[in-house]
Structure 1
Amino acid sequence: MAVTVDSELLDGGRLLPLVEDFYTIQGEGFHAGKPAYFIRLGGCDVGCRWCDAKYTWNPKLYPPTDVRTVIDRATACPAQAIVITGGEPLLYPLDVLTRALRAKGLEIFLETSGSHPFSGVFDWVCLSPKRQQPPLEEAYGRADELKVIVESEADFEWAERNAARVSAKCRLYLQPEWSVAERMMPAMVEYAKANPRWNISIQTHKYMHIP
């Protein structure tokens, strides 16, 4: 059973279970290489066995933080873009946070599995669907980028099933699961060459040795 935060403790999204926030370079997908301020929220009920942020899964480890504190830190750095990630950030009401950031003139990017209803305003939505808890229908319509994690060649079929549900303008990415990246890359390269609407994403931040 997923561990959750009592909604009353969040005061309508004025408080959120903050794991960490920091300025770095986006490492994956369409915006790879872009400086961005990351806001990572605690709590996830998807439970990918290969997740590299399992420390985020239990939100009760992260006391609710006033979003004004996070907004002040984000706007004090040179970042022009904000990435809201997790965990699964759509577990929480994000309107207060995202509207305040938008009012500061910042671009807001969301990284989500799409398995919970949307809240908040975003300039870019990266949808990364998971088999064990597939996206809600609304997530496919909101996706600007579809990023499918590839562990084996069987995941190409899963990728196509999800690609068939996003809009024609959505950018498509295959990304190898880190522990099998070297083994899977040749098959991914050949698949993308045969199906050129797909792009390949790699976790460049791990090569740069940054968060």
Structure 2
Amino acid sequence: MFKTEKQSDLISEQDIWYVEYPIMEHFYTIQGEGAHTGRASYFIRTAGCDVNCWWCDVKESWEEEGHPKMTVRELVDAAKASKAPFVVITGGEPLLHDLLPLTLGLKSEGMKVHIETSGSSPLSGQLDWITLSPKRFKKPTEEVFAYVDELKVVVLTNKDLKWAEDNAAKCPEGTRLLLQPEWETPKSIDLIVDYVKENPEWGISLQTHKFLKVP
């Protein structure tokens, strides 16, 4: 687990419930990709992103403006009511925000907290599972690699396979290694299939939520 150091010096327990975050959406769903595919989960999608992948399918999350702000109390209550076994904080790029208040609130109610991030901003909060999805045009911080539970690399071309190898070399032993074809780049499927056959320490992640037609 990753924990922000000296958390008691950063914010009091009484104050965390009033901290606000710009939220694009939050919902109870089935996780569609990665190591936890098929599991019930509550998603909290923060607004704001400085990575801006051209293939992103939630470009409306890039700007903070225009999205409502929600308190930690509101978000925790919604997640708790769903009875989901864990919460996924995603974006946008969630690490543009200090996640300590939100994660403390979620964990105070007994919830596991996962994150999906590009790793391009400093880690914050208390996180039980870190999915790193690194992007070549805005590299992860070196700090994040020590805590990665799952490395999930979106593949369009052979350059992305080399990028995946470079990032995997920095991850701890036992990190789940996954390659994911870009949804609108069919040729990436053949690249990934051939690569995984030759490198079986890697697996394949698919965006099954798009087949299932769930958010």
Q: TM-score normalized by structure 1?
A: 0.92
Letter in 1 for 2:123: F
For residue 131 of structure 1, the aligned residue among 123, 130, 136 is 136
Matched, 1:116 2:121: yes
Cα distance in 2 for residues equivalent to 1:77 and 1:29: 21
For residue 183 of structure 1, the aligned residue among 187, 197, 206 is 187
Cα distance in 1 for residues equivalent to 2:155 and 2:113: 26
For residue 197 of structure 1, the aligned residue among 195, 198, 201 is 201
Matched, 1:52 2:57: yes
Letter in 1 for 2:149: D
Cα distance in 1 for residues equivalent to 2:109 and 2:91: 22
For residue 156 of structure 1, the aligned residue among 161, 178, 202 is 161
Cα distance in 2 for residues equivalent to 1:134 and 1:61: 28
Cα distance in 2 for residues equivalent to 1:43 and 1:186: 33
1:22-59: per-residue Cα shift (whole Å, max 9, x none)?
A: 00000011000010000000000001000011000000
Letter in 2 for 1:138: E
Match of 1:75 in 2: 80
Matched, 1:170 2:190: no
Cα distance in 2 for residues equivalent to 1:19 and 1:111: 15
User: What is the aligned-residue identity percentage?
Assistant: 50
Match of 1:3 in 2: none
Match of 1:98 in 2: 103
Cα distance in 1 for residues equivalent to 2:98 and 2:191: 40
Match of 2:28 in 1: 23
SS in 2 for 1:109: strand
Match of 1:5 in 2: none
Higher deviation after alignment, 34-43 or 184-193 = 184-193
Cα distance in 1 for residues equivalent to 2:29 and 2:68: 24
Cα distance in 1 for residues equivalent to 2:147 and 2:58: 24
Higher deviation after alignment, 184-193 or 14-23 = 184-193
Q: Is the 8 A contact 2:72 2:105 kept in 1?
A: no
SS in 2 for 1:61: coil
TM alignment of 1:2-41, pairs within 5 A = 14-41=19-46
Aligned length: 200
1:61 to partner: Cα distance = 1.5
CA RMSD, aligned part only? 1.3
1:104-136: per-residue Cα shift (whole Å, max 9, x none)?
A: 111110000000011100110000000111000
Cα distance in 2 for residues equivalent to 1:121 and 1:165: 22
Match of 2:145 in 1: 140
SS in 1 for 2:210: helix
Gaps of 5+ in 2: 1-14
